[in-house]
């Protein structure tokens, strides 16, 4: 049945999916179709249960279908799905976010992380009157043209498009630098400083697996952008309210000019946001000349669900529990791998973690890419056969949730023990 559905999907959806990673190209094999999720578990259409570490790629920090979030969405649905006119929920969401996230004085809700980073860069370009943008190799900020750029290795290079259909003249505006490479960033600023509108960064990289910032890296971005009159755009679409309450900006004491949020703030609904200092956000329409709009932006269902999730997260101890869980998973998986002679390492920051099949743990994209992808594929399929849904690519972070209780974690570790015993 699943195979027949997959054949149907392949006929009418590119690669059978609505977002590429779901097709399992990174690990081979065919994806399963989800019937439902509950707590830490996902159930496929054939009734198989998986301990889920994909968790919709980050938003589901309370687990699948948490009662408080489901109730909030159901209650709002009965009152109407969308209005195209203001609701109190949007004000409450904006107040919560501006209270929690440093530097966020005004915020605009949008529908995806892609939209948030695209709009933030538009503001940065308007504010500075400059065109160039700096991004880091291995950081993902969504799929709009300016940021869909791959770096050359090592020193900074003019961006070349990472995708067909992106005009090279546009890609040239994006300068790429290795993550955690302060020297390369300094040399980009010494060459292009007066032309740079913004540096955009994942404060903890999560889209090449989890890679934390080296000491001094984020501080160097802040120093160099200030000196050059460029803006620092902190992309917290993944890290926001996942690594800590108020995001990495708050946990690390950053002073961003603009911040992007998404994923957790929407609880699994299509929600993201961008914002920052008042003087910058006052440039956005209708106050200013930076045009940006959205028919469904600030959607009441999404606001109700997101607010319910954020309020649950604000309870004391949530992030400590999540951080301990992610770290324990990493520690125990690495110990198991090494006890079977398999090179392995991990990074865990708050509720994000990645197991790497290499040593030592990587600090940039090149080092992540040097991991053993074949071994990762065997690990993924071994886990899947034993009821654990690990992210289907060595470049995706795993996302434990607050619903991952002792039983789910023990099932995960038992599956991994068997996978490593049989050999990856």
Active site residues per annotation: 140, 235, 263
Least Å from the CB of residue 42 to ligand PLP: 19
Both structure tokens of 404:
């991952």
Question: Candidates 111-119, 177-185, 192-200, 358-366 — which segment interacts with ligand PLP by CB under 6 A?
Answer: 111-119
Nearer to ligand PLP, 93 or 419 (CB): 93
Least Å from the CB of residue 8 to ligand PLP: 25
Q: Which of 64, 141, 347, 404 binds ligand PLP (CB under 6 A)?
A: 141
Least Å from the CB of residue 416 to ligand PLP: 25
Residues 252-271, interacting with ligand PLP (CB under 6 A): 262
Rounded Cα gap, residues 23 and 10, in angstroms: 10
Both structure tokens of 344:
């392995």
CB hemisphere CA count around 197 (13 angstroms) = 19
Using CB under 6 A as the binding criterion, the count of chain residues that bind ligand PLP stands at 15
Least Å from the CB of residue 124 to ligand PLP: 15
User: Regarding beta strands 258-261 and 231-236, do their DSSP bridges make them parallel or antiparallel, or are they unpaired?
Assistant: parallel
Nearer to ligand PLP, 120 or 228 (CB): 120
Nearer to ligand PLP, 16 or 268 (CB): 268
CB count in 10 Å sphere of residue 14: 10
Contact between 55 and ligand PLP per CB under 6 A: no
Work out the burial of residue 392: count CB atoms within 10 Å of its CB; fewer than 13 is exposed, 13-18 middle, 19 or more buried.
buried
Nearer to ligand PLP, 136 or 420 (CB): 136
The radius of gyration computed from the CA coordinates of the chain, to the nearest angstrom, equals 21
In 3D, which of 220, 228, 207 has the Cα closest to residue 124?
A: 228
Least Å from the CB of residue 401 to ligand PLP: 16
Question: Candidates 46-54, 102-110, 137-145, 385-393 — which segment interacts with ligand PLP by CB under 6 A?
Answer: 137-145
Question: Candidates 231-239, 287-295, 334-342, 358-366 — which segment interacts with ligand PLP by CB under 6 A?
Answer: 231-239
Contacts of 21 (CB under 8 A, 6+ apart): 57, 391, 392, 393, 396
Q: Which of 102, 142, 159, 247 binds ligand PLP (CB under 6 A)?
A: 142
Rounded Cα gap, residues 53 and 391, in angstroms: 6
Question: Candidates 109-117, 184-192, 299-307, 319-327 — which segment interacts with ligand PLP by CB under 6 A?
Answer: 109-117
Nearer to ligand PLP, 23 or 117 (CB): 117
Q: Which of 87, 114, 174, 180 binds ligand PLP (CB under 6 A)?
A: 114
Q: How far is CA 173 from CA 34, 133, 168, 202, 221, in A?
A: 40, 6, 9, 19, 18
Contact between 207 and ligand PLP per CB under 6 A: yes
Question: Candidates 66-74, 135-143, 160-168, 280-288 — which segment interacts with ligand PLP by CB under 6 A?
Answer: 135-143
Rounded Cα gap, residues 415 and 272, in angstroms: 35
Least Å from the CB of residue 114 to ligand PLP: 3
Contact between 237 and ligand PLP per CB under 6 A: yes
- Angle at the Cα of 269 (from 265 to 270), degrees rounded to 5? 90
Point out the residue whose Cβ comes nearest to ligand PLP: 113
Nearer to ligand PLP, 141 or 358 (CB): 141
Least Å from the CB of residue 252 to ligand PLP: 15
Q: Which of 175, 243, 272, 303 binds ligand PLP (CB under 6 A)?
A: 272
Decide: 372 and 343 in contact? Cβ < 8 Å: yes
In 3D, which of 371, 359, 135 has the Cα closest to residue 260?
A: 135
Q: Which of 175, 184, 238, 302 binds ligand PLP (CB under 6 A)?
A: 238
Contact between 174 and ligand PLP per CB under 6 A: no
DSSP 212-258: PPPTTHHHHHHHHHHHHT-EEEEEETTTBTTTBTTHHHHHTT---SE
Nearer to ligand PLP, 204 or 411 (CB): 204
Both structure tokens of 243:
């690594």
Nearer to ligand PLP, 103 or 142 (CB): 142
Omega prior to 134 cis, within 30 of 0: no
Rounded Cα gap, residues 360 and 7, in angstroms: 41
Contact between 113 and ligand PLP per CB under 6 A: yes
Both structure tokens of 95:
């107040």
Q: Which residues make up the interface to ligand PLP (CB under 6 A)?
A: 112-114, 117, 140-142, 202, 206-207, 235, 237-238, 262, 272
């Amino acid at each position: 049945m699943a195979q027949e559905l997959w054949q149907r999907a392949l006929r009418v959806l590119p690669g059978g999916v609505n977002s590429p990673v779901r097709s399992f190209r990174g690990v081979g094999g065919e994806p399963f179709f989800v019937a439902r999720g509950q707590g830490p578990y996902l159930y496929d259409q054939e009734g198989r249960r998986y301990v889920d570490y994909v968790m919709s790629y980050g938003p589901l920090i309370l687990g699948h279908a948490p009662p408080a979030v489901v109730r909030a969405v159901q209650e709002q649905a009965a009152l109407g799905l969308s209005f195209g006119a203001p609701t109190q929920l949007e004000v409450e969401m904006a107040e919560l976010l501006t209270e929690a996230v440093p530097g966020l004085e005004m915020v605009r809700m949008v529908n995806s992380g892609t939209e948030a980073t695209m709009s933030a860069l538009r503001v940065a370009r308007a504010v500075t009157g400059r065109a160039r943008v700096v991004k880091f190799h291995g950081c993902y900020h969504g799929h709009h043209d300016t940021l869909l750029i791959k770096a050359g290795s090592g020193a900074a290079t003019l961006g070349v498009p990472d995708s067909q259909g992106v005009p090279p003249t546009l890609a040239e505006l994006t300068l790429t630098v290795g993550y955690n490479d302060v020297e390369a960033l300094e040399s980009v600023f010494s060459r292009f400083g007066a032309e740079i509108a913004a540096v955009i960064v994942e404060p903890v990289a999560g889209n090449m697996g989890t890679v934390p910032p080296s000491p001094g890296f984020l501080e160097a971005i802040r120093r160099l952008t200030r000196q050059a009159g460029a803006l620092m755009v902190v992309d917290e679409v993944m890290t926001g309210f996942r690594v800590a309450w108020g995001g990495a900006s708050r946990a690390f004491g950053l002073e961003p000019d603009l911040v992007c949020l998404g994923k957790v703030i929407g609880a699994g609904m299509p929600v993201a946001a961008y914002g920052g200092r008042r003087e910058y956000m006052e440039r956005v329409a209708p106050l200013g000349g930076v045009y940006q709009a959205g028919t469904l932006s600030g959607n009441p269902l999404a606001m109700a669900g997101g607010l319910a999730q954020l309020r649950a997260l604000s309870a004391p101890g949530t992030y400590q529990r999540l951080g301990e869980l992610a770290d324990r998973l990493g520690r125990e998986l690495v110990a198991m791998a090494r006890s079977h002679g398999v090179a392995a390492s991990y990074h865990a920051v708050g509720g994000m973690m990645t197991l790497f099949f290499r040593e030592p743990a990587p600090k940039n994209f090149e080092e992540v890419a040097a991991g053993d992808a074949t071994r990762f594929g065997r690990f993924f399929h071994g886990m899947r056969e034993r009821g654990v849904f690990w992210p289907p690519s060595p470049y995706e972070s795993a996302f434990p949730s607050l619903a991952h209780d002792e039983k789910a974690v023990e099932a995960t570790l038992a599956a991994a023990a068997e996978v490593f015993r049989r050999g990856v």
